[in-house]
Chain A
Amino acid sequence: MKTASTLGGGHTAASAATGQGGWGREWLAAWNTFWFAPADPLPLAVIRSCAGALLTWAAWVWLLDAEAFFGPEGWQRPENVWRMNDQPWQWSWYFAASSPGAVRLLAGLTLVAALALTFGIATPVTALVSLVGLVSAANRSPLNVFGFDDILGMLLVAVAVGPSGAVLSVDRLLAPDAGASRPSVRANVALRLLQVQLCVVYLFSGCGKLLGASWWEGTALWGAAANVQYRTLDLQWLAWHPLVTNALTLATLWWEVSYAALVWPRLTRRLAVAMAVPVHLGIGVAMGMMEFGLAMLVANMAFVPAAVLRRVLRPVLGSSSGTP
Chain B
Amino acid sequence: MLASIGLLVYLAAVIAPPLAGPPPASALAVAALQPLRPLVGSLYLGHGYRFFAPDPGPGHSLRWSIDRADDSKLEGVIPDRSADWPRLLYHRRFMISEKIAAAVPPADAPDDVRQRSRGDWQPLVKDVAGHLLARHGGTRVTLHLVEHYLPTPEEVVRAEQGADVVTPLGTYAVVGPEGQ
Q: Which of B44, B56, B89, B124 contacts A223 (CB 8 A)?
A: B56
Could you tell me if B156 and A226 are in contact, using CB atoms closer than 8 angstroms? Answer: yes
Could you tell me if B79 and A229 are in contact, using CB atoms closer than 8 angstroms? Answer: yes
The digit string for A208-246, where 1 denotes a CB below 8 A from any CB of B, is 110111110001111110111110100010111010010
A80 CA to B43 CA in the complex, in Å? Answer: 20
Of residues 122 through 149 on chain B, the ones whose CB sits less than 8 Å from some CB of chain A are 123-124, 127-128, 130-131, 134-135, 148
Give the number of residues in A that approach B within 8 Å (Cβ atoms). Answer: 76
Given contacts A193-B10, A211-B53, A289-B91, contact A230 B44 (CB under 8 A): no
A221 CA to B153 CA in the complex, in Å? Answer: 11
Q: Does A264 contact B (CB under 8 A)?
A: no
Could you tell me if B53 and A209 are in contact, using CB atoms closer than 8 angstroms? Answer: yes
Could you tell me if B40 and A145 are in contact, using CB atoms closer than 8 angstroms? Answer: no
Could you tell me if B134 and A73 are in contact, using CB atoms closer than 8 angstroms? Answer: yes
Could you tell me if B40 and A86 are in contact, using CB atoms closer than 8 angstroms? Answer: yes
Given contacts A61-B88, A147-B51, contact A75 B128 (CB under 8 A): yes
Chain A contacts for B56, CB-based, 8 A: 214, 220-221, 223-224, 227
Among residues of B, the one whose C-beta sits closest to the C-beta of A139 is: B44
A5 CA to B75 CA in the complex, in Å? Answer: 61
Chain B contacts for A57, CB-based, 8 A: 88
Among residues of B, the one whose C-beta sits closest to the C-beta of A231 is: B59
Chain A contacts for B58, CB-based, 8 A: 227
Could you tell me if B49 and A238 are in contact, using CB atoms closer than 8 angstroms? Answer: no
A228 CA to B79 CA in the complex, in Å? Answer: 12
Could you tell me if B92 and A204 are in contact, using CB atoms closer than 8 angstroms? Answer: no
Q: Which of B10, B57, B151, B153 contacts A242 (CB 8 A)?
A: B153
Q: Does B86 contact A (CB under 8 A)?
A: yes
Among residues of A, the one whose C-beta sits closest to the C-beta of B43 is: A157
Chain B contacts for A119, CB-based, 8 A: none
Could you tell me if B88 and A90 are in contact, using CB atoms closer than 8 angstroms? Answer: no
Q: Does B28 contact A (CB under 8 A)?
A: no
Chain B, interface size: which category? 35 or more
Q: Does A42 contact B (CB under 8 A)?
A: no
Q: Which of B44, B86, B87, B95 contacts A143 (CB 8 A)?
A: B95
Given contacts A90-B41, A205-B49, contact A31 B55 (CB under 8 A): no
A153 CA to B47 CA in the complex, in Å? Answer: 11
Chain A contacts for B92, CB-based, 8 A: 61, 69, 144-146
The digit string for B75-116, where 1 denotes a CB below 8 A from any CB of A, is 000010000001111111111110110000000000000000
A120-128, A195-203, A309-317: which one contacts chain B? A195-203
Chain A contacts for B46, CB-based, 8 A: 86, 90
18 new A-B contacts at CB < 8 Å, known A229-B60, A239-B154:
A31-B4, A35-B7, A68-B131, A88-B41, A89-B38, A89-B40, A145-B92, A208-B50, A209-B52, A215-B55, A223-B56, A226-B150, A226-B153, A227-B148, A229-B59, A230-B59, A288-B87, A288-B91
**24 examples of A-B residue contacts, CB within 8 angstroms:** A61-B89, A61-B92, A69-B92, A74-B131, A75-B128, A76-B124, A80-B123, A83-B120, A86-B40, A86-B46, A89-B37, A135-B44, A145-B92, A157-B43, A196-B11, A200-B49, A211-B54, A219-B153, A224-B56, A226-B151, A227-B56, A229-B59, A229-B79, A232-B87
B interface, CB within 8 angstroms of A: 3-4, 7, 10-11, 14-15, 18, 24, 37-38, 40-61, 79, 86-97, 99-100, 120, 123-124, 127-128, 130-131, 134-135, 148, 150-154, 156-157
